[in-house]
A and B are shown apart, each in its own frame.
Chain A
Amino acid sequence: MAAPLTLLLLVAVTVRAALYRSSLADLISERVEVVSPLTAWKRVVEGLALLDLGVSPYSGDVFHETPLIIYLFHFLVDYAEITFMLADVITAVALYLSVKDYNKQVFRKQKYALEADRYPLDCLELIRSPKEMQYIPLKVAMFYLLNPFTILSCVAKSTCGLNNAVIALFVLSTIKGNVLLSAIFLSLATYQSIYPLTLCAAALLYLLQRQYIPVNLRRFSFWWFVAQYAFMYLGSLFVIVGLSFFLLGSWDFLPSVYGFILSVPDLTPNIGLFWYFFAEMFEHFRLFFLCVFQINVFFYTVPLSIKLKEHPVFLIFMQLAVISIFKSYPTVGDIALYMAFLPVWSHLHRFLRNIFLVSCVLLACSALFPVLWHLWIYAGSANSNFYYAITLLFNVAQILLVSDYFYAFLRREHHLSHGLYLKRKDGSEATLVLK
């Protein structure tokens, strides 16, 4: 498997390098769909320039990156392109290795279940074979590296690429079962943007499952493991935050980074739902709806964890999708990360209901975003409603995609336990509904 992966990496790096050298790089780094006030490279350069002028980058409202990014790019600002290409490569390789390991575990579990005769006889066609699972890791890496969203994000030098790399490393360390590294990478991901906090539950469930500790709230072993993980996670988070304090000697970065993510003062248009909503919000209700929208991101953790406690990797995918859709400043780089997982669930395609509609809408919206932006901002013949409408449609399509995969996953699980061809009481073919 190493050779195709290396070839894929070479192709990806070549495409990115070619785009860096072309005139498109400047154009792409200005696009609001690809960069946000949190991740723009222009703002990183501005923050470093402010530091050179002797002014704290957090004294203004332009720079919203964490101090570790200042640390990193203070030395690497001349090698920025290589850094971002390397981040993409790391993400792809991490996803490749983690999916490979996950597939092995899936296959092993399936083998045990088959030997224990747990599957009804007619659902043998739902059983997965090693042959079909062989190319999935490569497909995952390909889906990530050759996704136009990822390429655009890398060429724009959006720091979303670095965030994705950290999350991919977290996924890799979780699936490999390394508790300490999983906690460290998760705290790093949370430190960068607050939302990966919700991945805690998925990581805990997976690691508990891997160590054969039953998820039972009355048992001591469960709480002992949770306490260990929490200790490692919080400890590394405090260490990182402390290091950030010592960089500039002040806590200014807390309101500038986390206050900014949570209170959404900057209404620059992006592909998310927050900007126009809060641009048109009545002042009286602003705080209320801000809380509602932010709670909305964290809210699905507990119900999803309860429903998917046997399948923590699917839970990770669902959480990443929920974060990418409902976060305050989403970009296409965030979408690329959860879309990279789609080949892992390619066996669900027979249960997907809306996939054609969803893919058409996503393609159409991706094409319409730059057109309607140009019409609003440059031509002046459209207004903000056009761009907003496409934003709404794009998010509805993403929600349909994610819920479709969730439906297909649950349905396959149902069939695996109740049989594929179901009959009604009178013997005729039955339809399954959700009740």
Chain B
Amino acid sequence: PAPKPNQPTSFEATADKEDTSAPETVVQSSVPQPKDDFQEELVIRPLHSGDIYASFQFRTLWETDFMRGNKVSHYRLFPKSLGQVISKFSVRELHISFTQGYWRTMQWGQPFLPSPPGAELWVWFQDSVTDVDGTWKELTNVLSGIFCASLNFIDSTNTVQPSASFKPLGIGNVTDHRFLRYATLPREIVCTENLTPWKKLLPCGSKAGLAVLLKSEKLFHSSFHSQAVHIRPVCQDWQCKTTSWELRQTLNVVFDLHTPGQGKLEWSLFKMFSRTLTEACPLASSSKIYIDITDDPQGEQFEVSPATHLLSQAMVLGDRRTFSVYDLTQQITFGTVRSLNLLIRWKSSEDMLRPLLHAERYVAGYGLQTGEIHTLMYNNHPYRSFPVLLLDSVPWYLRLYIHTLTVTSKGKDNKPSYIHYQPSKDRVRPHLLEMLVQLPPNSVTEVTVQFERALLKWTEYTPDPNHGFYVGSSVISSLVPSIVAMDTNSTREQPLFSSFFPCKEESSYFMRVYTEPLLVNLPTPDFSMPYNVICLTCTVVAVGYGSLYNLLTRSFQIEEPSPGLAKRIANIIRKMRGVPPL
């Protein structure tokens, strides 16, 4: 019997594994099944500060064409909700991330996949889209429903069209930036309601494979937590004869298991995630755990158990790193107890290498009238200078004065070679500032710009106006010179964590750094006073009107004293009698 076309077969596959006598379901269809492939991996990197950086990546590759006329209807590993989003909104690339916490570059090094605090969404649309802004609005609302996040707050006042940053990460030769939209919501909070629909998109859900470790009570009890979905078209082979859609779901988390005063503790999978692994996801073609042992080749700093003889080397973040590999598709990895609980015990500590590119941002000034945004970019390379592209999107209610923009390196003026500035329009769009700055070696570059704070209408403030308003992180993108030669062959089999950013040349790798979001206070009116203010101001206008009306319509007359009350009543009676008045 032919199966129903829209039913995912993941759970049937799990059940079928034990029952070998069940008949194989043969799909009778005229169109050959598109090939799809699912890989999952977990990279664990012990950080020098005693924290543990765990990065999950789940990749689904599917050779299909969403843009074709007849709709795709048989979804297997690729989640249907995202497939429908791609075809309905003609999306070429979609990158969405939800982050809680700020990545501390100076203490933790560089992340595999950077993300700013809050929510970030950037999308490249196909060139067939005619109304990009309308499609963007619908897309944000649909994604808001899929991820249970308030992405519907993304509108024209916080969306920008960068002109140079955020080039497409997948294949494609369209570089018309009219089809790119970028928005951040720095105020967005990430919680279990966002993790649950994210987990549902995985082929095995959270029932098998690495995703069983994703328990929200432990994940959100961390210093940094970021979950992201990246969709892009990639080449299947070297000649790029066929393209397939790649969906990557990534989750980066930094655990702080370091109790002060006791030195670095030992940690284990159970301690971090309150679960151990018992099996790989049956639908995955590869399921691996990588532990970064580059800093400890002889086993002097820490000890990993259970020991493994599988080693792998990869070029990631400009450096050749060595990893211990645990292959979950092999049954012997789980040992006799049928469960894998990795354990690391620290022995000694050492300083880490400073990251090459690092950035900070803060607001200077006092009072609620003006202020200054300072962005500091650190180039820690001893002798090489490299250019960085700085993207700043400032909301309209902080009015930037671009004539006060100064860029200084080592105390001297450093003129950017490319400036693209789009001023804001009140209540319509934010400021967009993009600059290409050359950072001299071993230096700090400071970018300052003054702004003025606007008074908003009383309905435009959030319910907690004195909390302040968030300004999204600046994005600094650059090609950083790398110590070892990078691998430019993108179709070779590589661990997922090293193959995210495309590598076009050997001597440098692409890095994106996000700064802190800013929290800025605006002057507030008194929210309890709308009626009073209207009455008082109208009274003043009426005073003016009344005085002028009096003087314009009346003329001077001699005042006759009016008779007393008794006389007036007497006059009335006299008038009634017909007798002349007093």
* Distance from A263 Cβ to chain B, minimum over Cβ atoms (Å): 11
Tell whether, in the assembled complex, residue B367 and residue A378 are in contact, meaning their CB atoms are under 8 Å apart: yes
Residue of B nearest to A423 (CB): B558
How many angstroms between the C-alpha atoms of A279 and B396 in the bound complex? Answer: 17
Alpha-carbon separation in the docked complex, A269 to B551 (Å): 32
B533, B550, B554: the one contacting A280 at CB < 8 Å is B533
| Contact B401–A434 (Cβ < 8 Å) | no
Within residues 541 to 580 of chain B, which ones have a CB less than 8 A from any CB in chain A?
541, 543-545, 547-548, 550-552, 554-560
Q: How far is the CA of A396 from the CA of B536 in the complex (A)?
A: 11
| A434/B554 in contact, CB under 8 A | yes
Contact (Cβ within 8 A) B403 A422: no
A74 lies within 8 A of chain B by Cβ: no
CB-CB under 8 A for A384 and B525, given A267-B456, A399-B543: yes
Given contacts A61-B399, A378-B367, A435-B555, 19 further A-B contacts (CB under 8 A): A49-B402, A53-B402, A59-B422, A275-B455, A276-B525, A279-B455, A293-B541, A303-B548, A307-B551, A326-B544, A376-B523, A399-B540, A403-B544, A406-B548, A424-B558, A432-B559, A433-B559, A434-B554, A434-B556
Q: Across the interface, which residues of B come within 8 angstroms of A45, CB to CB? A: 403
Kindly state whether residue B369 has any CB partner on chain A within 8 Å: yes
Q: What CA separation (Å) do A385 and B532 show in the bound complex?
A: 11
A280 to B536, CA, bound (A): 12
CB of B270 closer than 8 Å to a CB of A = no
User: Is B454 a contact partner of A50 (Cβ separation < 8 A)?
Assistant: no
A392 at the B interface (CB under 8 A): yes
Shortest Cβ distance from B557 into A: residue? A435
Chain B hits for A410, CB < 8 A: 551, 556
Q: Does A266 contact B (CB under 8 A)?
A: yes
Contact of B534 among A53, A280, A326, A414 (CB under 8 A): A280
A interface, size bucket = 35 or more
Which of B366, B545, B559 gathers the greatest number of chain A CB atoms within 10 Å? B559
Nearest B residue to A318 via CB reads B548
**B412 within 8 Å of A by Cβ?**
no
Report if A422-B543 is in contact (Cβ < 8 Å); known contacts: A46-B401, A53-B421, A276-B537. no
Cβ of A392: which chain B residues have Cβ within 8 Å of it? 536-537, 540
Q: Which residues of chain B have C-beta atoms less than 8 A from A46's C-beta?
A: 401-403
Q: Is B459 an interface residue (CB 8 A)?
A: yes
A309 contacts B by Cβ under 8 Å = no
Given A384-B524, A434-B554, A282 and B530 touching (CB < 8 A)? yes
Which of B423-431, B471-479, B483-491, B512-520 is found at the contact surface with chain A?
B423-431
- The dominant DSSP class at the A interface is helix
Across-interface contacts of B364 in A (CB, < 8 A): none
Task: Give complex CA distance A418, B556 in Å.
Answer: 10
Q: Which residues of A contact B163 (CB under 8 A)?
A: none
Count contacts on B: residues with CB < 8 A to the other chain: 52
Q: Could you tell me if B530 and A265 are in contact, using CB atoms closer than 8 angstroms?
A: no
Closest to A417 in B: B556
Query: Once the chains are docked, how many angstroms separate the CA of A324 from the CA of B342?
Result: 78
Tell me whether B423 and A384 are in contact (CB under 8 A). Answer: no
Tell whether A117 is near chain B: CB-to-CB under 8 Å. no
How far is B543's CA from A376's CA once the two chains are assembled, in angstroms? 27
**Residue contact B366 to A325, C-beta cutoff 8 Å:** no
B558 touches A384 (CB 8 A): no
Give the CA-CA distance A45 to B456 in the complex, in Å. Answer: 24
Say yes or no for B332: interface residue by CB 8 A criterion: no
State A165–B396 Cα separation when bound (angstroms).
34
What B residues does A384 contact at CB under 8 A?
455, 523-526
Docked-complex contact A435 and B554, CB < 8 angstroms: yes
Q: In the complex, are the beta carbons of B455 and A281 less than 8 A apart?
A: no
With A42-B401, A385-B529, A403-B548 as known contacts, state yes or no: A62 contacts B423, CB within 8 Å: yes
Q: Which of A50, A279, A410 has the most CB of B within 10 A?
A: A279
Contacting B at CB under 8 A, from A411-435, are 411, 414, 418, 422, 424-425, 430-435
Residue pairs across A and B with Cβ atoms less than 8 A apart, 16 shown, are A46-B402, A55-B423, A59-B423, A269-B455, A276-B537, A277-B534, A279-B456, A280-B529, A282-B530, A300-B548, A304-B552, A383-B524, A385-B526, A396-B540, A403-B547, A403-B548
Instruction: Answer yes or no: A105 CB below 8 A from chain B CBs.
Output: no
Q: When the two chains form the complex, which single residue of B369, B427, B544, B559 contacts A399, counting CB atoms closer than 8 Å? A: B544
